Amino acid sequence: MSILDVQHIEKHFGATRVLEDISFSLEQGQVLSIIGSSGSGKTTLLRCLNFLERPDAGTIAVRGQTIFDAADMKAQTESQIRANRLHFGLVFQSFNLFPQYTALENVILARQLLAKSQKTGESNEAIVQEGKALLDQMGLSDRMDNYPHQLSGGQQQRVAIARALAMKPDILCFDEPTSALDPELTGEVLKVIRGLARKHTTMIIVTHEMAFARDVADHVIFMDGGVIVEQGAPADVIDNPREERTRQFLSRFSQDN
């Protein structure tokens, strides 16, 4: 059974159709890369999966269980959406760390609040230990007590990745995780994501780093104008694209770089 099954997602902003009939599935432990030019709907798709946007049509199922069905909106209470969100983690392009908390506090805050409000019985000590382990894994063991403004962009993004992992999501989503970084800082973030892929973390990565996508992804989706133009193994989509639009996009890309 697929860990994620997305069927016929549609999204409009007013009269503009942003996503049209988006369907794909993802297996446990696999990495999916979504590529395409700006405005192709990649980011909106990620935001739909994380319920930051509500799709106008379609269904989303995690491990065979439907967690969203646009046809049955009444079932979506605020607290259900919150619970469903925890299936997904999201790493933003602009990090969005909480500035008044240290790196460690950023990582553990949501877990602490969840443990308190839902009485999960998780001890604060265990949460702190886990947070430290995650930051250690990100190579930030000496940065735990720093505030975000004291960290470089690459370090901030690694804290953001640890923060997303702390909620133990089934699927970790990245929205152009290196687009806001200086070129010399993208490497350290991509290295961390590669490490996660090696440990078979299920991930969806929206990226402009074509070489990275080919390298790390098991499956690639090329989007244009709100639709999936082509999907398949990276060797097919990136190296031997069938569709003219994909070829055009990729050739523009190789010129730019």
Partner 1 sequence: MFQTVTLALLRGCGTMLELFALTLLFSLPLGLLVAFGSMSRWAPFHFLVRWPRLLDQKFFRWLSTFAPVSWLCNVVVWIIRGTPLMLQLIIIFYGPGLWFDHNIWSFSSGRMTACVVAFVINYACYFSVIYRGGIQSVPAGQWEAGEVLGMTKRQIFFKVTLLQMIKRIVPPMSNEIITLVKDTSLARIIAISELVKMGEDFMRSDGITWPLFYTAVFYLVVVGILTLLFNFLERKLSYFR
Among candidate residues 252, 211, 247, the one with its CA nearest the CA of residue 229: 247
User: Quick check: helix, strand or coil at residue 119?
Assistant: coil
Our CA angle for 106, 96, 218, nearest 5°, is: 95
Residue with smaller CB distance to partner 1, 115 or 250:
115
As measured in angstroms, the least distance from the Cβ of 154 to partner 1 is: 18
153, 125 Cβ separation under 8 angstroms: no
Measured distance CA(188)–CA(198) in Å, rounded = 15
As measured in angstroms, the least distance from the Cβ of 243 to partner 1 is: 32
Residue with smaller CB distance to partner 1, 11 or 163:
163
Residue with smaller CB distance to partner 1, 163 or 219:
163
- Cα separations in angstroms, 110 against 66, 113, 166, 231, 243: 25, 5, 8, 35, 43
222, 246 Cβ separation under 8 angstroms: yes
Report CA 68 to chain centroid distance, whole Å.
18
Residue with smaller CB distance to partner 1, 46 or 193:
46
79, 122 Cβ separation under 8 angstroms: no
Residue with smaller CB distance to partner 1, 113 or 235:
113
As measured in angstroms, the least distance from the Cβ of 212 to partner 1 is: 23
As measured in angstroms, the least distance from the Cβ of 97 to partner 1 is: 8
As measured in angstroms, the least distance from the Cβ of 85 to partner 1 is: 5
As measured in angstroms, the least distance from the Cβ of 90 to partner 1 is: 4
Residue with smaller CB distance to partner 1, 148 or 241:
148
Q: Within a 13 Å sphere around the CA of 111, how many CA atoms are in the beta-carbon half? A: 25
Task: Enumerate binding residues for partner 1 (CB under 8 A).
Answer: 50-52, 78, 82-83, 85-86, 88-90, 92, 94, 96-101, 109-110, 113-114, 117, 147-149, 163-164, 167
